[in-house]
Amino acid sequence: MNILIIDPLSENTICRLKKIKSVKIDYFPNINETDILEKIGQASMLIMRTSHIFTEQWLEKAVQLQAVIIAGSGIENVPIDLLEANNIIFKNVKEASVTSVAEYAICLILMGLRNVYQGIKSIGEGNWEKNQLIGNEIRRKTIGLIGFGNIGKAIASLLCNFDVEIIYTNESGRVVGYDYECVELKELAKRSDIICIQVPLTNRTYQFINNDVFSNVKRDCVLINVSRYDVIAMDALIEKLKQGIFKHVYIDPIEKRHLKTISEFKNLPISFLPHLGANTYEAQERVGEELIKIMIDLETKFNFLCSLP
Amino acid sequence: MNILIIDPLSENTICRLKKIKSVKIDYFPNINETDILEKIGQASMLIMRTSHIFTEQWLEKAVQLQAVIIAGSGIENVPIDLLEANNIIFKNVKEASVTSVAEYAICLILMGLRNVYQGIKSIGEGNWEKNQLIGNEIRRKTIGLIGFGNIGKAIASLLCNFDVEIIYTNESGRVVGYDYECVELKELAKRSDIICIQVPLTNRTYQFINNDVFSNVKRDCVLINVSRYDVIAMDALIEKLKQGIFKHVYIDPIEKRHLKTISEFKNLPISFLPHLGANTYEAQERVGEELIKIMIDLETKFNFLCSLP
């Protein structure tokens, strides 16, 4: 059987997958849409992350496909119902990226407060702009966490000695065992000096950070999105950026397909990143471990021999 | 009497200083060397930070000077012995910047591990280089703190929930009350995944991070300097950067006078910043508070009336 892999996995993981008896690994970490459509017809299993969206056209071509595995936690780019209706198994890797994303969120929060990017850039251009780059401490500020699942909890935990106030919103209400204050989204917007978004993308979170939220944020708020591009109504955000409401905004989850749309944000206090939140060697290794476990679970179903260490 | 101020202070601090009876405040936060030499002759008191070096030429011109106050903790840019030999009072503001510098060090450490600057830059240029920008978590890494005074201790404290090993060097040996391991500089270099320097610049620390240290560092080490430019032997560093030893180096304390010398580091994995460590509104306010306290202490000596709130 053929396993088609269309996003990067760690070298070690690829090496282990190749050891599985009676499978052929087609590893194309930089594949484009046209080539996916050409190759998906031969695949019995597809392993992917977030770079591509699994479309109905893929499904039409995928005549041999029996399983789709997402090597990550976000699953919004795959039509799970449609897969299940076609008897295609769907699995994903949870948890593996939590630490990487949480540490990264702390990095972006501090960068937003301290003008670090602007400082490096200006020095690189031969200018010394210290006096225009006065920042803020995080100490004694209010951090509003939108989403209080594993990543939200991990961010709060990392901040434990930073002397900050943490408040959060959570779809299913207050989380037992945590002393932080659970509030409504509107109140979070009103009170937070820093807002950090870490929710899965679903029908309910699609563009749910919109004008209703932005019209309540404090002036000079720092906004961080380590979730998915589409949780923010970007049309509403650009207006607020033009009004000078935000000190700085960091949007991490930029995929190739977003590059065109973000050009209109030039010269505004916003920075985009190529979805680096979970992009660490450590997270990739853990993803690999989980992936191998999923393969072992699927062993009898697919009639291959994992024989993995 | 005239008080000459040649570095930025907060608006609030300037406002309070102006309220002192029988003094004239000459506030020139962006003054150049020539103008300092012209104006210093009329000054009874000089307030400065780190942008300039107090030279013998200044002293020759400063015929009325009775006091020099550094609005910061680093004092290496002022010849204290010479001032004292000329009966000029010297004071400085300690402590006020500790939190700002410590938070900033965490930011640079995480940036060094995660390729954030490169990510933003590449997206700005229309490229999407996620697969070339795989980073590392800080979790389970060894952080070597060179200098374990107030800032070193504050960095260790902020990292308390990051699940890291902290080791440190300290000029006067092990610091009582802290469980972290105190080691020799060479051992710290050998063991650390991340090295962070926060020591005052003195005769003993001038270029003390040199080839003896660099020849022991681990491959892919992240090096952060939030101390002073001259604590590192930059000639030795450039060689090691060319050899690809470091994952990334961040040098914060760049003053205008360093701009020329850093151009030879182009295209190496090193970033420079215009001394933003203590550059926050919060630290500036605390510096102002301490400055006013010093003024009150000097009140009878200088025969002015502070009458400050």
Close Cβ partners of B137 (under 8 Å, ≥ 6 residues apart): A99, A100, A103, A280, A282, A283, B113
Asked if residue A254 and residue A105 are part of one domain, the reply reads yes
What pLDDT does B269 receive? Answer: 96
Asked if residue B286 and residue B242 are part of one domain, the reply reads no
Asked if residue A211 and residue A173 are part of one domain, the reply reads yes
Position A86 in a domain = yes
Phi, psi of A90 (to 5 degrees): -125, 130
Structure tokens belonging to residue B285: 């306010």
Please give the share of chain A, as a percent, with pLDDT higher than 90: 89
Position A255 in a domain = yes
What pLDDT does A307 receive? Answer: 60
**Among partner residues A103, A133, A259, which is closest to B279 by beta-carbon distance?**
A133
Which residues numbered 163-192 in B keep a CB inside 8 Å of some CB on A? none
pLDDT for B210-220, tens place per residue? Answer: 999 999 999 99
Chain A neighbors of B269, CB-CB under 8 A: none
Asked if residue A142 and residue A71 are part of one domain, the reply reads no
Please give the share of chain B, as a percent, with pLDDT higher than 70: 98
Q: Which residues of chain A have pLDDT under 50?
A: none
Instruction: Tell if the CB–CB gap between B279 and A161 is shorter than 8 Å.
Output: no
Q: In whole angstroms, give the CA distance from residue B101 to residue B105.
A: 6
Largest CA distance in chain A: 66
**Among partner residues A138, A271, A279, which is closest to B103 by beta-carbon distance?**
A138
**Cα–Cα distances in Å, from A284 out to A4, A23, A51, A252, A281?**
18, 22, 15, 18, 5
Asked if residue B128 and residue B234 are part of one domain, the reply reads yes
Domains: count for chain A: 2
pLDDT for B19-31, tens place per residue? Answer: 888 889 999 999 9
Phi, psi of B159 (to 5 degrees): -85, 5
What pLDDT does B302 receive? Answer: 80
The amino acid at residue A142 is T
Question: Which class for B134: exposed (0-12), middle (13-18), buried (19 or more C-beta within 10 A)?
Answer: middle
Q: In whole angstroms, give the CA distance from residue B223 to residue B197.
A: 8
Position B309 in a domain = no
Residue B308 has pLDDT above 70, yes or no: no
**What average pLDDT does this structure show over B282-288?**
95
Asked if residue A133 and residue A29 are part of one domain, the reply reads no
| Mutation to test the B interface, candidates A153, A193, A282, most B Cβ within 10 Å | A282
**What average pLDDT does this structure show over B98-117?**
97
What pLDDT does A52 receive? Answer: 93
Asked if residue B102 and residue B167 are part of one domain, the reply reads yes
Position B107 in a domain = yes
Position A117 in a domain = yes
What pLDDT does B50 receive? Answer: 86
Residue B148 has pLDDT above 80, yes or no: yes
Position A23 in a domain = yes
Instruction: Tell if the CB–CB gap between A160 and B160 is shorter than 8 Å.
Output: yes
Position B307 in a domain = no
What pLDDT does A301 receive? Answer: 80
What pLDDT does B309 receive? Answer: 53
What pLDDT does B171 receive? Answer: 93
**Cα–Cα distances in Å, from B76 out to A307, B170, B203, B204?**
64, 19, 9, 12
Domain coverage including residue B237: 98-272
Chain B neighbors of A133, CB-CB under 8 A: 274, 276, 279
pLDDT for A192-226, tens place per residue? Answer: 999 999 999 999 999 999 999 999 999 999 999 99
**What average pLDDT does this structure show over B93-98?**
92
Q: In whole angstroms, give the CA distance from residue B118 to residue B131.
A: 12
Q: Where are the alpha helices (DSSP H) in chain A?
A: 11-18, 33-39, 56-61, 80-85, 98-114, 116-124, 150-158, 185-191, 211-214, 234-242, 281-302
- In chain A, whose CA is at the least distance from the CA of B115? A276
What pLDDT does A300 receive? Answer: 80
What pLDDT does B74 receive? Answer: 84
- In chain B, whose CA is at the least distance from the CA of A124? B272
Chain B neighbors of A122, CB-CB under 8 A: 274
Which residues numbered 91-110 in B keep a CB inside 8 Å of some CB on A? 99-100, 103-104, 106-108, 110
Which residues numbered 15-74 in A keep a CB inside 8 Å of some CB on B? 29-30
What pLDDT does B32 receive? Answer: 94
Asked if residue B237 and residue B130 are part of one domain, the reply reads yes
Asked if residue B108 and residue B222 are part of one domain, the reply reads yes
What pLDDT does A74 receive? Answer: 84
Instruction: Tell if the CB–CB gap between B137 and A103 is shorter than 8 Å.
Output: yes
pLDDT for A36-68, tens place per residue? Answer: 999 999 999 999 998 899 999 999 999 999 999
Q: In whole angstroms, give the CA distance from residue A64 to residue A58.
A: 12
Position A307 in a domain = no
- In chain A, whose CA is at the least distance from the CA of B10? A134
| Residue A309 Cα, gap to closest chain B Cα (Å) | 24
CB B232 within 8 A of CB B272: no
Q: In whole angstroms, give the CA distance from residue B165 to residue B180.
A: 8
* Band of residue B301 on the pLDDT scale cut at 50, 70, 90: confident
Instruction: Tell if the CB–CB gap between B274 and A123 is shorter than 8 Å.
Output: yes
What pLDDT does A1 receive? Answer: 86
Mean pLDDT taken over chain A = 94
| Mutation to test the A interface, candidates B32, B98, B123, most A Cβ within 10 Å | B123
Helix (H, G, I), strand (E, B), or coil: what is residue A307?
coil
| Residue A205 Cα, gap to closest chain B Cα (Å) | 25
Determine the number of helices (DSSP H) and then strands (DSSP E) in chain B. 11, 12
Q: In whole angstroms, give the CA distance from residue B102 to residue B108.
A: 10
Asked if residue A266 and residue A166 are part of one domain, the reply reads yes
- In chain A, whose CA is at the least distance from the CA of B281? A136
**Among partner residues A129, A273, A279, which is closest to B120 by beta-carbon distance?**
A273
Asked if residue A298 and residue A166 are part of one domain, the reply reads no
Domain of residue B170, CATH code: 3.40.50.720
Asked if residue B107 and residue B185 are part of one domain, the reply reads yes
What pLDDT does A51 receive? Answer: 87
Please give the share of chain B, as a percent, with pLDDT higher than 90: 89
